[in-house]
Structure 1
Amino acid sequence: MNSSILRKKAVILLSGGLDSATILAMAQQQDYDCYTLSFNYGQRHCAEIAAAQRIAEHFAVCDHKVIHLNLDCIGGSALTDAGIAVPITGLTSEIPVTYVPARNTVFLALALGWAEVLGARDIFIGVNAMDYSGYPDCRPAFIRQFEQLANVATKAGVMGESFHIHAPLLHWHKHEIIRHGVQLGVNYALTVSCYQANEQGEACGQCDACRLRRDGFAQAQVVDPTRYV
């Protein structure tokens, strides 16, 4: 039997942000052969795509793909519609306008397709239900339901080769993620989290993503390597 068949493979959703870089490091620590997947989906900037490429190269992943989508065609989010301003007033109890309709559902579906082609049965996603912006597709219920879907919607799944959706950061606070990532050797200077970073990858320092990131580094007592405008 070909020994390569016995190696564990995983598809990692790699946005270029802090959380996704951390889960990539976690997957490698667990001895997975990592295949990273990013999306140019019509978001406000491409700095995170460049960041994802840097991170993939840093971790020497097996393969890194960037899939082009046009979620900006349907809009409905401050991240895909230039006519909707990115909020800078801080988190509220409401789902913010930075929520992108069906984004994680679409991303996981494409990751599932690639995983089936690769013979991988593990998919990692860096969603977080603690320090987050209230997105419905970052909750435990969503992850559970998608995993069930994966196992009835694929040839591999119905033949008994179960897929597993790993969301290891689901119940972690941002400072816990950062501390763990530092222990794993993650270089957070490579990452971009800002919703409206400029072409050089410099962060605005005012959006929800920037606030969560900055507070996380402060609480972790780790120097924040973010480049701000």
Structure 2
Amino acid sequence: MSKKAVVLVSGGLDSATVLAQAVSQGYECYALAFDYGQRHRAELVAAKRVAEAGGAREFKIIELNLRSIGGSALTDAAIDVPEHGGEGIPVTYVPARNTVFLSIALGWAEVLNADDIFIGVNAVDYSGYPDCRPAFIEAFEQLANLATKAGVEGHKLHIHSPLIKLSKAEIIQTGTKLGVDYGLTVSCYQADEQGRACGHCDSCYLRKEGFAAAGVADPTPYFS
């Protein structure tokens, strides 16, 4: 019997790479995305493409209304998406997002009898996000094993974050070797309805720099 894993899939290149890694390790993957009130739906369309192309057994979108609490440039239209640069925690940080996402992934994993959850967080390029640090992943894994029926009954739950210490170039090189089609992905914080990128936000900058450093052609369509 195949081992099962829930894989968080956002539509971006990191999660596409993580899905490919999980599949290559023999997991039967259940891809999970969130419609959480983000600025655009292009990433959800991309998440579905990535899940289907990546061989996920099932793809599910969970609806959450994080826009109702705001506090981020990604969920509050009154906060502008910044150009590249700045210090401290970026305004694109969505309060508690990864904690909420992992909690729901944990619930689905219990239902599926899956002991593994994969998430594409990265502490190198996104060091300003508190919920992308190794300490957070370790703490959540401890919580997962304390807070679940599966954990209490001895089914140790594992939170995998295989990209957490890789540069964007290393992530792209890893995915390219696994056959990931990055043309299916959307990374831009303010992509248009066709999924075209702005080319100016932090995410676009990191993506462009990553492809250049990896020596891989950038398949991203830009609207400006």
Interval of TM-score (by shorter of Structure 1 and Structure 2): over 0.9
1:63 counterpart residue number: 58
Asked if 1:28 corresponds to 2:23, the answer is: yes
Amino acid at match of 1:69: L
1:223 paired residue among 210, 213, 217: 217
Instruction: Report SS of the residue matched to 1:9.
Output: strand
Asked if 1:76 corresponds to 2:101, the answer is: no
Give 1:56 deviation, angstroms.
Answer: 1.0
Asked if 1:113 corresponds to 2:111, the answer is: no
| Range moving further from structure 2, 8-17 or 50-59 | 50-59
| Range moving further from structure 2, 50-59 or 108-117 | 50-59
Give 1:93 deviation, angstroms.
Answer: 3.0
2:154 counterpart residue number: 160
Q: Partners of 1:91 and 1:143 in 2: how far apart?
A: 26
1:3 counterpart residue number: none
Instruction: Report SS of the residue matched to 2:33.
Output: strand
Unpaired runs of 5+ in structure 1?
A: 1-5
Q: Are the aligned partners of 1:91 and 1:133 in contact in 2 as well (CA < 8 Å)?
A: no
Instruction: Report SS of the residue matched to 1:104.
Output: helix
Give 1:188 deviation, angstroms.
Answer: 0.1
Amino acid at match of 1:124: F
2:35 counterpart residue number: 40
Q: Are the aligned partners of 2:7 and 2:30 in contact in 1 as well (CA < 8 Å)?
A: yes
Asked if 1:91 corresponds to 2:85, the answer is: yes
2:8 paired residue among 13, 31, 34: 13
- Report how many aligned residue pairs link the two structures: 223
Amino acid at match of 1:65: K
Q: Partners of 2:54 and 2:220 in 1: how far apart?
A: 20
Instruction: Report SS of the residue matched to 1:152.
Output: helix
Amino acid at match of 1:92: G
Deviations 1:166-208 (A, max 9, x none): 0000000000000110000000000000000000000000000
Asked if 1:131 corresponds to 2:125, the answer is: yes
User: What value does the CA root-mean-square deviation take over the aligned residues?
Assistant: 0.7
Instruction: Report SS of the residue matched to 1:36.
Output: strand
Instruction: Report SS of the residue matched to 2:37.
Output: coil
Deviations 1:40-99 (A, max 9, x none): 0000000000000011111231100000100000000000000000001x2333001000
Give 1:121 deviation, angstroms.
Answer: 0.4
Percent identity, aligned pairs only, is 67
Give 1:159 deviation, angstroms.
Answer: 1.0
Q: Partners of 1:59 and 1:98 in 2: how far apart?
A: 27
Unpaired runs of 5+ in structure 2?
A: none
